[in-house]
Amino acid sequence: MNMIWQLQGFDRSEFIQHYWQKKPCLIRQAIPDLRSPISPQELAGLACEDEVHSRLLIEKDAETPWKLSYGPFQEEVFAALPKTHYSLLVSECDKWIPELGDLLAQFQFIPGWRIDDLMVSYASPGGSVGPHSDEYDVFLLQAEGRRKWQYTNDRVDNPALIPDLDLAIMQNFNGDQEAILSPGDLLYLPPGIAHHGVAVDACLTFSIGFRAPTAIEILESFALEVGRQNSASIRYADPDLETNRHFAEITQKEIDRFRAMVLSLMDQPECLWTDSVGRLLSDSPVGSPVDSPVGSEDLDNPPARQQGLFKNNWMTNPESRMLYHRGDSGLRFYCNGRAYKLPNSDPVIEVIQNLCESRYLSAESLDACREQKALIEMLFDLEKTGALILAEK
Ligand code: SIN
Ligand code: CO
């Protein structure tokens, strides 16, 4: 029987006010009667698939301590594992197990673009990934068996790490807090909190991880967007060229000119900033960002392929990221790093929200928006780039 997820036992706004990005929070029985929709055996099966990202970490009884290897794995690898002290971690399980996608939807009190993925880890008794801290918020939901978590109250910056390992494990760890989590218990940890989770019994843990782009990432996206949208490039100029200098010298005045150039580049219209953010946050491996505005097909004389759009039901590729922004300059839709400008009208917004939420478009709902040319052109582009795929009838 399918699990109906219902996160409970805490008030969302109180949680945001007192804990989110601030301090750890333990919620006992956030999902009572939790039954994992994936077994340890199925998880191992997933880790053998080509497109799945997985890691195996053996703390003891391998050639080296804390031996890390990356999937896809051959089935034989699992037969040769020690009985204790290892972990198998599989990222993005929400994409492969629809029920886990539904579970992720329980965290929609945090904006969709902030949510990264749901990772499932299996740990044999005594297994852990070692004491460490992450730069991201995480909800750790115990799904099967018990795990003992130790964690700090406060951020731990630049901890000493065990040298020569492929992963960051702290040399000295002192957790002020300790809790044994049973199925259904949920532990929230903000970024920088050091933590160590050791399997009491063989166990499954779901980690709901979040994204937090860096200033450098948004600056890179912004620079690309200026390149796309702003043809009048700002170029170095020095009508006040200084004469008292050696020819090999870079003068302070020159540095100041470069700095002023970059600072004046920042002053761009609102929509350029919006597109820089939208493209960055929707970036995904599906399709690729385009350098020119999307869509130049003649919609009054649609080719046969375009007609096919109306005859079918569609779903979004599980790997595609879809977001939108409503502002003074209209409605903008972002998918996998591509940007689309749409009219800010109710029927268009309805389709866009439906697409982002249910990730499904029926032939019927498509037929109702035949007259929305910009929207149809965009949907056609989504199909062409693999963001929209045929759904079963
Ligand atoms: C795990 O599930 O084994 C590790 C999760 C984490 O430490 O963030
Ligand atoms: Co962690």
- CA 132 to ligand 2 center in whole angstroms: 6
Domains plus CATH for the chain?
12-210 (2.60.120.650), 215-268 (no CATH), 296-390 (3.40.366.30)
Flag residues of the chain having pLDDT under 50.
Answer: 291-301
Quote the ligand 1 centre to 16 CA distance (angstroms). 22
Pocket of ligand 1 (CB under 6 A): 87, 121, 123, 129, 134, 138, 195, 197, 205, 207
Cα separation, 317 vs 357, whole angstroms:
13
Q: In the beta sheet, which residues pair with residue 142?
A: 205
pLDDT digits (tens, 9 = 90+) for 1-41: 678 899 999 899 999 999 999 999 999 999 999 999 999 99
Burial class (CB in 10 A: 0-12, 13-18, 19+), 364: exposed
Nearest CA to ligand 1 atom 6: 207
DSSP 324-343: EEEETTEEEEEETTEEEEE-
Reference 41, options 3, 79, 71; nearest CA is: 79
Instruction: Say whether pTM exceeds 0.85.
Output: yes
Spatial contact of 189 and 137, defined as CB atoms under 8 Å apart: yes
Per-residue model confidence (pLDDT) at position 297:
47
| Cβ–Cβ under 8 Å, residues 202 and 139 | no
Ligand nearest to the CA of 147: 1
Pocket test for ligand 1, best of 140, 152, 193, 210 (most atoms within 8 A of CB): 140
Looking at the CA of residue 209, tell me the nearest atom of ligand 1: 8
Percent of the chain with pLDDT strictly greater than 70:
94
- Per-residue pLDDT tens for 344-361? 999 899 999 999 988 999
Nearest protein CA to atom 2 of ligand 1, as residue? 121
pLDDT number for residue 120: 98
Residue to mutate, 151, 205, 206, 208, ligand 1, most ligand atoms under 8 Å from C-beta = 205
Tracing tokens 């709902």 back to the chain, one arrives at 365
Mutation choice for ligand 1 from 58, 91, 189, 207, CB with most ligand atoms inside 8 A = 207
At 389, give phi and psi (nearest 5°). -125, 155
What residue's CA is closest to ligand 1, atom 4?
129
Q: What is the pLDDT of residues 80-107, one digit of tens each?
A: 999 999 999 999 999 999 999 999 999 9
How would you class 118 by CB atoms within 10 Å of its CB: exposed for 0-12, middle for 13-18, buried for 19 or more? buried
